[in-house]
Structure 1
Amino acid sequence: MLPFSSWEIGPIFRAMTRNKVGAVLIALQVAVTMCIIVNSVHILMERTEQMARDSGIDEANSFYLSSTGFADDFNDQVVIQTDLDAIRALPGVIDAMQINAIPISGGGWSMGLQTQPGAEFEGVGTAVYMVDDHVLNTLDLELIAGEAFQPSDIRWRERSQRDWPAEIIITRALTENLFPEQSYQDTVGKTLYINDDEPVIIKGIIDKLQAPWVGWERLENAMLSPEQTLFSSSMYFVRTEPGRLDELMPAVEQMLADSNKGRVVRGLRSMQETRERTYRRDQAMIKILTTVMITLTLVTALGIVGLASFNVNRRRKQIGTRRALGASQASVLRYFMLENFLISSIGVILGAVLTVGLNIYLVQSLGLTKLHWWLIPVGMLTLWLVGQLAVLGPARRATATSPAIATRTV
């Protein structure tokens, strides 16, 4: 903005009072625009960070599919073991296993774990993954303490079964929730309780594994239970060598379909597709909020242009008189730029108050996080800049007003 003197502000304020409605409307428009844009940017940042969270597994090279038997002589246990042996033997497959739920997919099992037995103690919620001894290699998990599952640890679980294996592996995040005052290395071998009083021992700790529910507050609370399921349907999770995913997905599906005609093979999906489907609403929200922000900014800019153009046309004779009395083009330009800066300043100050108020409401009502403080000054500077750029065109037209117009009677 061009330099100005303090004595110029008084006449500008007096001129603004003669068209109070226009100035008030533009200031309110700036305030509402800032309130919505700053909170929208905060939501976009929060959603983008959530979508970028690491699930803990090798998503780029993993897929899964399900097998459901219907034949009278269908033997779940034999078929599952045969299928896994065949899949693991395929060139390009790193490893495979049966699993009961898929990370970040939206559906799965959960239980409460507690450090003391008894219904009076509150459990910590955790996602439950039923897996075998191939789990670390298949999901590409990092064991940071304790021991991995051995083949002898794996049991078969019937649909109606309610008890749990003697040992489990849990994530570091779950360990920190259960034992906040201890290091995760010290928790190996400790006893936890499921269903209030059933003991299980922590066999190992993995670094990270997300639950199926991406909106869950404790997303990284997960436990691995060493068991294969004898349910009506089996889900196989497969990890491939880099670059072989597209080749192996249809190959595994066709192999399973051809190997046993007494079942249905379906639900073939990559982890990348699962991530895209899971975060589809977030992606749609980002697009909608971006469109709203751009639209509001353009509408505000057009409002500023309209008000400035109106003021220039209404004050043409006044401008001509000033030019005839020796006012330079720069002083005329400075006048309109300063006038808009004052209106925008009122708007952004009011907008800062509205922004904080709306964020408090969103935090209390929708559970969003608190606004980053630096977004408010950035929003103020941005709208100041938009206002100055919007008024620049009409202000330049004002500088072209001829001093001769001061002698006209109309």
Structure 2
Amino acid sequence: MRNKVGALLIAIQIAVTMCIIVNAIHIILERQELMARDSGIDEANSFHLISTGFANDFNEQVTIETDLNTIRALPGVIDAVQINAIPISGGGWSMGLQTQPGAEFDGVGTAVYMVDEHVLEALDLELIAGEAFKPTHVRWRERAQTNWPDQTIITKAMAESLFPEEPWQQVVGKTVYINDNEPILIMGIIDKLQAPWVGWNNVEHAMLSPEKTLFSSSRYLVRTEPGRRDELMPKVEEILAESNKGRIIRDVTSMMDTRERSYRRHGAMIKILTTVMVILTVVTALGIVGLASFSVNRRRKQIGTRRALGASQSAILRYFMLENFLISTVGVVLGAALTIGLNIYLVQAFSLDRIDWYFIPLGMLVLWMVGQLAVFGPAKRAAGIAPAIATRTV
């Protein structure tokens, strides 16, 4: 009580440390959960590339058909598909589907993947209801074209959002509307396929549109047999480049690299928050050690007197441990209030999830343990002070 400022500063330091660490751990776990989400495709064995024509006599339609046939015929390739966007890549096409026609009705946002009948095998998608695309369903789409095919396949999550009151199995055969009033028949449902935008709340909303695109640049996604991706990536690039000198092949990228790039900010945030947590914990522990050491040096005479009156070393040790426990208790109680307040702000400002209740008692327990471990060294030195030395006036 004679050193209130020092004890109060340590308590505040513990409170701030707990507030930041608990919320940081919550954010780290949330980011790790996002990074671990299944995109729905065979990422480990897939890669993609872009073919861009520049020659005056470049025939995009013929080139696309030739490229796909060539890639699919290669040993080690399971399948390939032309696709307008790559899952979890960060860039793509979105539209809104609605269950009733008319501009007055709100649509449910969805990522759009323009593909052909090879899409299920090429992306390793699981059709859980309805039928797959047939070659007769697939059309060619010009860049300026605005109308849509008559059929679509959607994800299970999209079916549940469109028809929340019905079992998703019964969504097959229903009609939805795009561009406010253009009807599309849902002919199938796939289990899972993520949108290109990893930060989107409806990342599992996706639809497959049976069409190949004539957009001057074509993107191909290739799925290989397990273990052959790295072997086939340069091979496919070389074969396509040699087959047509009127175009360039670029951005040959594995899906694993695509995932790493898309979640790079999350990974950087985890590293930064982890570093901050370690530094705060070390600084707080050093502050506790410093305060305890200062207290021991100031009270050497008092400690010696207690030892001379019969106090045991364990009693002196318990005294300092208890003193630190009381200071830590004030800090963690204040820290619990600050933790809740900061989390409320983060939820409102950045749409983060609410922190789970058990994070707070766990944080309090950890800070108590840090405090006790930090004070143990100075307390043990205090317990080792000899009565004769401690009571000297010199």
TM-score normalised by L of structure 1: 0.96
Instruction: Tell me, yes or no, if structure 1 residue 352 matches structure 2 residue 327.
Output: no
- For the residue of structure 2 that corresponds to 1:302, the secondary structure is helix
What is the rounded CA distance, in whole Å, between the counterparts of 2:51 and 2:387 in structure 1?
A: 87
- For the residue of structure 2 that corresponds to 1:18, the secondary structure is coil
What is the rounded CA distance, in whole Å, between the counterparts of 2:182 and 2:376 in structure 1?
A: 74
Note the 1:262-301 alignment, pairs <5 A: 262-301=246-285
- For the residue of structure 1 that corresponds to 2:12, the secondary structure is helix
Gaps of 5+ in 1: 1-16
Identical residues among aligned pairs (%): 75
Partner of 1:242: 226
- For the residue of structure 2 that corresponds to 1:157, the secondary structure is strand
Note the 1:84-233 alignment, pairs <5 A: 84-233=68-217
- For the residue of structure 1 that corresponds to 2:105, the secondary structure is coil
What is the rounded CA distance, in whole Å, between the counterparts of 2:389 and 2:335 in structure 1?
A: 39
Gaps of 5+ in 2: none
- For the residue of structure 2 that corresponds to 1:388, the secondary structure is helix
- For the residue of structure 1 that corresponds to 2:212, the secondary structure is strand
- For 1:290, the aligned partner's letter is T
- For 1:370, the aligned partner's letter is R
What is the rounded CA distance, in whole Å, between the counterparts of 1:150 and 1:409 in structure 2?
A: 99
Q: Offset at 1:406?
A: 4.9
- For 2:287, the aligned partner's letter is G
Residue-by-residue CA offset, 1:292-344 (whole Å, 9 max, x unaligned): 00000000000000000000000000000000000000100000000000000
- 1:53 pairs, out of 37, 40, 44, with 37
Partner of 1:36: 20
What is the rounded CA distance, in whole Å, between the counterparts of 2:52 and 2:274 in structure 1?
A: 43
Instruction: Tell me, yes or no, if structure 1 residue 399 matches structure 2 residue 383.
Output: yes
| Contact map agreement 1:324 1:406 (CA 8 A) in 2 | no
What is the rounded CA distance, in whole Å, between the counterparts of 1:65 and 1:330 in structure 2?
A: 70
What is the rounded CA distance, in whole Å, between the counterparts of 1:383 and 1:67 in structure 2?
A: 57
What is the rounded CA distance, in whole Å, between the counterparts of 1:177 and 1:105 in structure 2?
A: 23
Q: Offset at 1:395?
A: 0.3
Partner of 2:358: 374
What is the rounded CA distance, in whole Å, between the counterparts of 2:288 and 2:184 in structure 1?
A: 67
| Contact map agreement 1:321 1:405 (CA 8 A) in 2 | no
- 2:52 pairs, out of 62, 68, 73, with 68
RMSD: 0.6
Instruction: Tell me, yes or no, if structure 1 residue 334 matches structure 2 residue 308.
Output: no
Residue-by-residue CA offset, 1:62-82 (whole Å, 9 max, x unaligned): 000010111111111111000
What is the rounded CA distance, in whole Å, between the counterparts of 1:81 and 1:148 in structure 2?
A: 20
Partner of 1:12: none
| Contact map agreement 1:63 1:237 (CA 8 A) in 2 | yes
What is the rounded CA distance, in whole Å, between the counterparts of 1:391 and 1:409 in structure 2?
A: 27
TM-score normalised by L of structure 2: 0.99
- For the residue of structure 2 that corresponds to 1:409, the secondary structure is coil
Q: Offset at 1:368?
A: 0.2
What is the rounded CA distance, in whole Å, between the counterparts of 2:38 and 2:291 in structure 1?
A: 49
Partner of 1:83: 67
Q: Offset at 1:99?
A: 0.3
- 1:312 pairs, out of 296, 299, 302, with 296
What is the rounded CA distance, in whole Å, between the counterparts of 2:268 and 2:3 in structure 1?
A: 41
Aligned residues: 394
| Contact map agreement 1:145 1:205 (CA 8 A) in 2 | yes
- For 1:62, the aligned partner's letter is S
- For the residue of structure 2 that corresponds to 1:250, the secondary structure is helix
- For the residue of structure 1 that corresponds to 2:82, the secondary structure is strand
What is the rounded CA distance, in whole Å, between the counterparts of 1:184 and 1:339 in structure 2?
A: 61
What is the rounded CA distance, in whole Å, between the counterparts of 1:263 and 1:78 in structure 2?
A: 13
- 2:373 pairs, out of 389, 392, 401, with 389
Structure 1 moving runs of 4+ over 4 Å: none
What is the rounded CA distance, in whole Å, between the counterparts of 2:389 and 2:243 in structure 1?
A: 93
What is the rounded CA distance, in whole Å, between the counterparts of 1:254 and 1:396 in structure 2?
A: 71
What is the rounded CA distance, in whole Å, between the counterparts of 1:124 and 1:136 in structure 2?
A: 23
Decide whether aligned partners of structure 1 residues 407 and 180 sit closer, same or farther in structure 2, where only a CA change above 3 A counts. Answer: closer
- For the residue of structure 2 that corresponds to 1:97, the secondary structure is strand
- For 1:142, the aligned partner's letter is E
- For 1:177, the aligned partner's letter is S
- For 1:178, the aligned partner's letter is L
- For the residue of structure 2 that corresponds to 1:224, the secondary structure is strand
What is the rounded CA distance, in whole Å, between the counterparts of 1:102 and 1:349 in structure 2?
A: 48
What is the rounded CA distance, in whole Å, between the counterparts of 1:191 and 1:110 in structure 2?
A: 19
Partner of 1:323: 307
- For the residue of structure 1 that corresponds to 2:166, the secondary structure is coil
- For 2:341, the aligned partner's letter is G
- For the residue of structure 2 that corresponds to 1:65, the secondary structure is strand
- For 2:361, the aligned partner's letter is P
What is the rounded CA distance, in whole Å, between the counterparts of 2:201 and 2:298 in structure 1?
A: 58
What is the rounded CA distance, in whole Å, between the counterparts of 1:405 and 1:158 in structure 2?
A: 94
What is the rounded CA distance, in whole Å, between the counterparts of 1:375 and 1:201 in structure 2?
A: 47
Q: Offset at 1:407?
A: 3.8
